[in-house]
Every structure is written in C-alpha cells, then in structure tokens.
C-alpha cells in the first residue's frame, strides 16, 4: 500500500506540473491586456503648489507683482497646473486679501485702550473687491461653526469683529479663495483643488456648490490634503463618501493618489471604487529637494518615475530659506522654473521619451468576460506549484497538500478574494525560483554523488561521522571544460525558465487596476527575498538527490555540532550580509554612490536599468557555481547565493505599478549582463586554476618533498 501511495505521488507530480503550465499559459493574455492599459494614458501633468508662491511673496517687497511674475514664469517653463488649498485667515492675509488683529492690536490701531473683558478677532478686508468676494467666504466659515460675528468699519474699510480669539479663528478651514481661482485660471493654468476632511459635519449642499464652481473653472482632478479624504469622518453616519463620489462622477472630476505616503489616505480606496478608478498617481518633490537637487537629478528622478512607476502627475513644492552668508532670502520658485525649461529640462526630456505635458488621464481599464475564468486557471496553477514545492521536501504529502490548497483557497476566496490572490501570488513567487534551483541540484547530485549514495574515498575527503562512515568527497572526477560550461549554461537557462513560470501567475492573479494604482500591493516582499535562499540552503545541506532518507540524521548531526568561535564569526558575517541584503530590498532600499553611478550609466546607455541584484549579485555567482559544482562540492554554496538572481527576477514583476513591458526589458538585460559577467568569471577561474596546476601546485609539492 505504501509503495502504491508513493507511485500515486510520483504521478501527481507530473500532473501538477501540467496544471501549473496550463495556469502559466492561460495568464499570458492578461499580460497583453495590462500592457495595452498601461499605454492608454501618457500625458504628464506638472502641478505647482500655489500656496508656496503666496508664502514666498509675503517675504518680498512687492508681493502681488511677485505672484504675477512667477505665474508667468512657471507657465513659460511648462508647468501645467496650480494646486489650491482650502483657505484660512493666515493664508488669506498672506495673499493680501485681508488683515486680522487680536484685541490689543485692534485697540492700538484705533488709538484706544484694549477691552480686557474680551478677546475678539478683528478682520479688515484689503479693499472693496476683497470685501465682496472674500467676505462671504469668511462669514460662511464662522456661521458654519456657530461663532458670532458682526460688521466693523475702520478708516473707510469693511471688516468683521469675530467673537473668538485669533488663535481659535485661525484654525477655521474656509472655502477656496475665489480671487486665487480666478487669477490662476486667467493665467492659463489648470486647477487642482486640494480638499480636506476638516469641514465637519459633511454638508451635501455646500459640497455640491463647491464642486459646481470648481467645474466652471475647468477642474478635472482633486488632491486630498491630510490623512483623510473628504467625507470619510461622516461615512458611517450619513454615507458621505457615497454622496461625494456621486458628485465627482456628476461633474467628471477624478482623484489623485500620492506615492510613498507613510499611511494611505483613509477612505481613498472606497472613493476610488465608487468613481470607477478615475485616478492618477502623483509624485511629490519635497521643498528640501527643490533647494538641493540639480536639474539633472530632478530630470532623472521624474523620468524614472514616469517610465518605471507609471507616475502621471508631479507635484512641485518650493520653499524660502534665509542665507546668513549673503544676507538674502533664497526661494526655490525661480530654480524650479529653470529646472523645468529648456532642451534638457524636465518637460522637454519627458516629452522626448513619450510623456507630453498635459492634464493627467486615468488608465483605460476594462474587464472582458474571459478574464475571470482565466484568473481562475492562474489560481489553480499557483496552488499546483506551491504543492510541488512542498512535495519536493515532503514527497508523501504531495496529493494531500494540493487538496488542502484547493479547499483553503476556495474558502479564503469567499471570505476575502483579495487576500486569497495575494497569498497565492506570494506562494507562487517563492515556489518557482526554489523549484528551479532544486531541479538544478538534483542534476548536480546525479552527476556527482549519484541519486541515493554518498561518494567516499581516501583522497580529498573529510572523515565521516558514525552515520556516514565513508566520508564526504569534496572534489569530484574531472570533466572536460567545454562539457562543464555547456551543462552549466543549459542548467542556468532551464532554472531561469522554471523561475519565470511564477511571473504570469503573479500578474495574472493580481491583474486589477487597484495594484497598478498602488491602492493594493503585493504582500510579502521580505518573505520572497529570504524564503528561496533559506529553502535552497536546506536542500543543499540536508537533501541528497531525489531521496529524502537520511534528512533527519543529517539535520541531527548538523545541530549536534559544537558551537565554536568560527561558528559565531560565521553567524555574525551572515547576519551582516543579511541585514545589508534586506536594506536594499523594497522602494526604500539603500544603495551606494558607486552603484548610483552604475545605475545612471545603465539608464543612459540602455534606457532601462537592470537590477543590480540580478546581473551582479545573482546570475554570475549562479553560473560560476554551476560550472564549479561538477568538480567541487564547495561550489554548491554559490548556487545558494545565486538564488538571489532568480528570486529578484520574479520580484521585479511583483511591482505591479511598474509597466510590464519595462519589467520584461529589465529582466532580459539583467540576464544578458549576468551571463556575460558569469562567463568572464568562469574564464578567470579557468586561468587561475591552470596557473595553480602548472606552477603553484608543483612548487608546493617540491618544497613539501624537500
């Protein structure tokens, strides 16, 4: 009965391989569909923070002239849009719309003593136009908050006396500055309105009035200010998000999601769903970067964001700094205008690379009827490849694991389909590169130690333990160099093909606009970058060929080894290497200056930058390790290191927000570069080995004999 069970599992291995292949092939049309979507919106919108211009103007001798001149300069430089925030008393005063005073300042202004019994806020509008246009905005804000106010006239100017301290009055969020909207519109800019969720409770009528007015100014996209989208706070009580979304659809206004926020803005995912994902992704250049970065640096960063991460909006922040050495105030508005303009500027460079300046458009996304069954086949393939991985370590459990995987995936799909897709995508991403290298190790075992036996001997051996009395051979019989190179290349290509089987499964399972917009992300990046390395190390040290006999004995013998200083030093080195490796993982990974130079050269030479961990740290050690493994057991360690290249290839495609075409080009370049460096290492090794055998080894033998 036991033999029959093993036979069933061996047959199941073949059938599960076929199921995996069916899932891989079925998912390929989804990749074509995704590439079509990624090319459907190429316009890039450059958005300048209007508030930064106003704040800079407040420190200039002629504020209004400064604002007018900078708007003209930025328009000529290619900036397409201005971001306008909901206003406050402070911002309205900086813009020259009004001035406000506390009780003591107002008394001094009027030449009388302050009333110590009250702490009111005194507001004076700058002129008749400001009183007519800004006055209703200010009154509405205080009326909404239930703060009493009365009219005030001073020196022929209209104003208000607000029965609240200036500290409290300054915290009130007011409607958009109508005079700023008009000035920006007349200057020829698109307007990006920055809504917040500070105006509570949510007022449906007031919100519709705001959106209708913004629609008249040609507003087509919103950008939220703060940690919440508008309407989030009152969603439970009044379904405010649903109402706000209906208004956005009515006035054809889309949303914006900001890249690399520490926490996603609350409510954005639901609002995105309700607006049919009318969203553009935005990268924000920080005020500090606007001061410190060169034109070349900003151009490279923006081009990389547009090409590699599908960014279609760039937000330009400016700042003003005091320079004690020159005794001047330095503002970065002028510098940003210079960075944008010219043949080597941001606008022209991105246009030359296929990203013309214009209003950002959402990706055209459709769900054909055949997509759902195709994704089902991809899920089935993912379950199969995960079962194959577990079966490689526990062959007797192959059939039960596959059955459990099917039932568990079905149950998880009912509870949370997104979590099911992410779990299967992670499992497939870990399984494929691990299985590829397990296949390689089995080929090596077959040509060196055999499928089920250890090779012992007196020469080049280390004494074996009680469990392995014959010892372990560290150098195997020689083989022609040409044959070793041919086998190494063949095994490398087959392992790569097995690893890449995960790619269609991953992008097939995660074929959703939410991943392209980073509203959802592939989970388990650290697991993907560690698990295959660990699993391959376990297989190299504990498994021998297709047989699992003796695994427990080898594990027991390994764990029974005495802890020496050498083991401690080795653990410390491995820990340091692992820490550095993980520090390079993800979007926040740290890289050296030398690598930055190499990246820049690769980007300028090929237009696409292959991953450093593939063509330098992964593929070359793997190819060299395969060449050495047929002669030296120690070469097997390089195969463990080479797992980095295989898993990183798969990891490239887990960045769903990156264009699929770009990921394919990057992977192919990484393979080409890695093979070239690997062959160079093999040639160097052959030369060094030949020199050792011809000169060094005979000399050592001569001195030993004497």
For the segment 388-406, what is each residue's pLDDT rounded down to a tens digit?
999 989 888 888 999 999 9
User: Tens digits of per-residue pLDDT, 550-578?
Assistant: 677 766 766 666 777 666 676 666 666 66
What pLDDT score does 584 carry?
56
Number of alpha carbons in the 13 Å side-chain half-sphere of residue 469: 1
Residue 223: name the closest of 261, 250, 170 by CA: 261
**Distance between CA atoms of 537 and 549, rounded to whole angstroms?**
17
Question: In the predicted model, is pLDDT for residue 452 greater than 50?
Answer: no
Query: What's the mean per-residue pLDDT of the chain?
Result: 87
**Distance between CA atoms of 320 and 329, rounded to whole angstroms?**
7
What pLDDT score does 597 carry?
65
Query: What CATH number does the domain containing 164 carry?
Result: 3.30.70
Average pLDDT for residues 506-532, to the nearest whole number? 91
User: Tens digits of per-residue pLDDT, 197-245?
Assistant: 998 899 999 999 999 999 999 999 999 999 999 999 999 999 999 999 9
Question: Which of 174, 207, 226 is the endpoint of a domain?
Answer: 174
Q: Locate tokens 């080479």: which residue?
A: 642
Six token digits for residue 638:
């390089």
Return the axis-axis angle of helices 371-393 and 502-509, rounded to nearest 10°. Answer: 130
Question: In the predicted model, is pLDDT for residue 469 greater than 50?
Answer: no
Average pLDDT for residues 148-164, to the nearest whole number? 93
594: in domain: yes
Question: In the predicted model, is pLDDT for residue 250 greater than 90?
Answer: yes
Domain residues for the domain of 647 are 432-705
Going by pLDDT thresholds of 50, 70 and 90, the confidence category of residue 463 is very low
607: in domain: yes
Residue 52: name the closest of 357, 262, 336 by CA: 336
User: Tens digits of per-residue pLDDT, 116-134?
Assistant: 778 899 999 999 999 999 9
What pLDDT score does 534 carry?
92
**Distance between CA atoms of 316 and 541, rounded to whole angstroms?**
54
What pLDDT score does 701 carry?
65
What pLDDT score does 36 carry?
92
324: in domain: no
Question: Which of 128, 143, 174 is the endpoint of a domain?
Answer: 174
**Distance between CA atoms of 653 and 646, rounded to whole angstroms?**
12
- Name the burial class of residue 20, with classes exposed (0-12), middle (13-18) and buried (19+) by CB atoms within 10 angstroms of its CB: buried
Radius of gyration of the chain (CA): 33
Going by pLDDT thresholds of 50, 70 and 90, the confidence category of residue 112 is confident
Question: In the predicted model, is pLDDT for residue 654 greater than 60?
Answer: yes
Question: Which of 149, 174, 199 is the endpoint of a domain?
Answer: 174
In terms of residues, how long is the chain?
706
Question: In the predicted model, is pLDDT for residue 593 greater than 90?
Answer: no
Tally of CB atoms within 10 A around 3: 7
- Name the burial class of residue 29, with classes exposed (0-12), middle (13-18) and buried (19+) by CB atoms within 10 angstroms of its CB: middle
159: in domain: yes
682: in domain: yes
What pLDDT score does 492 carry?
96
606: in domain: yes
pLDDT: which is higher, 298 or 615: 298
Q: Which long-range contacts (CB under 8 A, 24 or more apart) does 32-38 make?
A: 33/366, 33/368, 33/371, 33/511, 34/507, 34/511, 34/516, 34/660, 35/659, 35/660, 35/661, 37/363, 37/364, 37/365, 37/366, 37/513, 37/516, 38/310, 38/363, 38/516, 38/659, 38/660, 38/661
**Distance between CA atoms of 362 and 255, rounded to whole angstroms?**
9
- Name the burial class of residue 535, with classes exposed (0-12), middle (13-18) and buried (19+) by CB atoms within 10 angstroms of its CB: buried
Q: What percentage of residues in the chain have a pLDDT greater than 70?
A: 87
What distances in angstroms separate CA 161 from CA 109, 171, 630, one per listed residue? 14, 16, 89
Number of H helices, E strands in the chain: 32, 14
Six token digits for residue 399:
């059939």
What pLDDT score does 118 carry?
84
Question: In the predicted model, is pLDDT for residue 476 greater than 90?
Answer: no
User: Tens digits of per-residue pLDDT, 26-51?
Assistant: 999 999 999 999 999 999 999 999 99
Going by pLDDT thresholds of 50, 70 and 90, the confidence category of residue 606 is low
What pLDDT score does 580 carry?
57
What pLDDT score does 577 carry?
61
User: Tens digits of per-residue pLDDT, 167-181?
Assistant: 999 999 999 999 999
Give the global pTM: 0.85
Count of domains observed in the chain: 2
153: in domain: yes
In three-state form (DSSP H/G/I as H, E/B as E, the rest C), the secondary structure along 641-676 is HHHHHHHHHHHHHCCCCCCHHHHHHHHHHHHHHHHH
β-strand partners of 234: none
Tally of CB atoms within 10 A around 173: 17
Average pLDDT for residues 139-151, to the nearest whole number? 93
H-helix or E-strand spanning residue 52: helix 50-57
318: in domain: no
Q: CB neighbours of 379 closer than 8 A, spacing ≥ 6?
A: 23, 409, 420, 421, 424, 509
What pLDDT score does 692 carry?
75
What pLDDT score does 223 carry?
95
What pLDDT score does 464 carry?
38
H-helix or E-strand spanning residue 8: helix 2-38
User: Tens digits of per-residue pLDDT, 56-73?
Assistant: 998 888 999 999 999 999
Q: What percentage of residues in the chain have a pLDDT greater than 90?
A: 64
């Amino acid at each position: 009965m036991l033999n029959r069970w093993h036979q069933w599992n061996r047959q199941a291995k073949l059938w599960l391989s076929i199921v995996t292949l069916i899932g891989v092939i079925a998912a390929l049309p989804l990749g074509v569909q995704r590439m079509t979507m990624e090319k459907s919106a190429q316009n890039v919108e450059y958005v300048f923070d209007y508030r930064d211009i106003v704040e800079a103007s407040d420190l200039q001798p002629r504020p209004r002239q400064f604002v007018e001149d900078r708007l003209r300069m930025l328009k000529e430089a290619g900036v397409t849009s201005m971001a306008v925030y909901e206003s406050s008393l402070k911002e309205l005063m900086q813009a020259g719309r009004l001035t406000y005073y506390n009780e003591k300042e107002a008394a001094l202004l009027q030449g009388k003593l302050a009333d110590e019994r009250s702490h009111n806020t005194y507001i004076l509008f700058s002129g008749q136009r400001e009183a007519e246009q800004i006055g209703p905005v200010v009154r509405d804000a205080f009326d909404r908050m239930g703060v009493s106010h009365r009219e005030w006239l001073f020196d022929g100017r209209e104003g208000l006396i607000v029965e609240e301290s200036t500290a409290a009055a300054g915290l009130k969020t007011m409607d958009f500055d109508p005079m700023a909207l008009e000035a920006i519109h007349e200057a020829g800019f698109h307007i990006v309105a920055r809504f917040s969720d500070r105006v509570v409770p949510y007022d449906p009528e007031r919100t519709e009035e705001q959106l209708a007015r913004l629609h008249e100014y040609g507003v087509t996209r919103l950008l939220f200010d703060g940690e919440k989208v508008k309407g989030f706070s009152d969603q439970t009580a009044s379904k405010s998000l649903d109402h706000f979304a209906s208004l956005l659809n009515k006035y054809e206004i889309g949303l914006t999601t900001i890249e690399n926020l520490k926490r996603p803005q609350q409510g954005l995912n639901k609002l995105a769903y309700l607006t049919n994902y009318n969203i553009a992704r935005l990268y924000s250049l920080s005020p500090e970067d606007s001061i410190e970065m060169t034109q070349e640096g900003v151009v490279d960063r923006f081009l990389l964001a547009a090409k590699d991460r599908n960014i279609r909006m760039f937000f330009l922040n400016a700042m003003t700094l005091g320079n004690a050495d020159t005794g001047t105030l330095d503002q970065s508005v002028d510098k940003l205008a210079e960075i944008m303009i010219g043949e080597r500027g941001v606008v022209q460079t991105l246009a030359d690379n296929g990203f013309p300046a214009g209003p950002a458009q959402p990706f055209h996304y459709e769900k054909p009827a055949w997509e759902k069954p195709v994704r089902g086949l991809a899920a089935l393939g993912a379950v199969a490849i995960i079962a194959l991985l577990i079966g490689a370590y526990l062959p007797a459990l192959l059939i039960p694991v596959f059955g459990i995987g099917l039932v568990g995936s079905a149950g998880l799909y009912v509870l949370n389909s997104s979590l099911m897709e992410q779990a299967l995508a992670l499992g497939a991403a870990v399984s494929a590169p691990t299985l590829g290298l397990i296949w390689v190790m089995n080929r090596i075992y077959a040509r060196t130690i055999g499928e089920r036996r250890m090779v012992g001997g007196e020469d080049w051996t280390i004494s074996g333990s009680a469990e392995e009395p014959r010892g372990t051979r560290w150098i195997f019989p020689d083989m022609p160099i040409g044959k070793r190179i041919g086998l190494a290349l063949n095994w490398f290509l087959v392992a790569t093909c097995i690893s890449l089987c995960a790619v269609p499964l991953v992008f097939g399972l995660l074929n959703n606009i939410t991943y392209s917009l980073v509203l959802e992300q592939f989970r388990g990046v650290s697991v993907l970058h560690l698990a295959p390395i660990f699993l391959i190390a376990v297989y190299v040290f504990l498994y021998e060929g297709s047989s699992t006999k003796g695994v427990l004995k080898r594990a027991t013998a390994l764990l029974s080894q005495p802890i020496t200083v050498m083991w401690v030093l080795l653990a410390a080195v491995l820990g340091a290497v692992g820490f550095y490796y993980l520090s390079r993982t993800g979007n926040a990974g740290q890289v050296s200056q030398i690598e930055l130079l190499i990246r820049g050269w690769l980007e300028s030479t090929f237009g696409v930058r292959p991953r450093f961990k593939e063509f330098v740290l992964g593929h070359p050690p793997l190819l060299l390790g395969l060449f050495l493994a047929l002669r030296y057991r120690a070469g097997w360690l390089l195969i463990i290191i080479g797992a980095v290249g295989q898993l990183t290839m798969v990891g490239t495609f887990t960045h769903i927000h990156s264009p699929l075409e770009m990921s394919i080009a990057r992977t192919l370049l990484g393979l080409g570069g890695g093979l070239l460096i690997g062959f160079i290492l093999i040639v160097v090794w052959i030369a060094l080995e030949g020199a050792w055998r011809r000169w060094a080894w005979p000399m050592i033998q001569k001195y030993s004999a004497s």
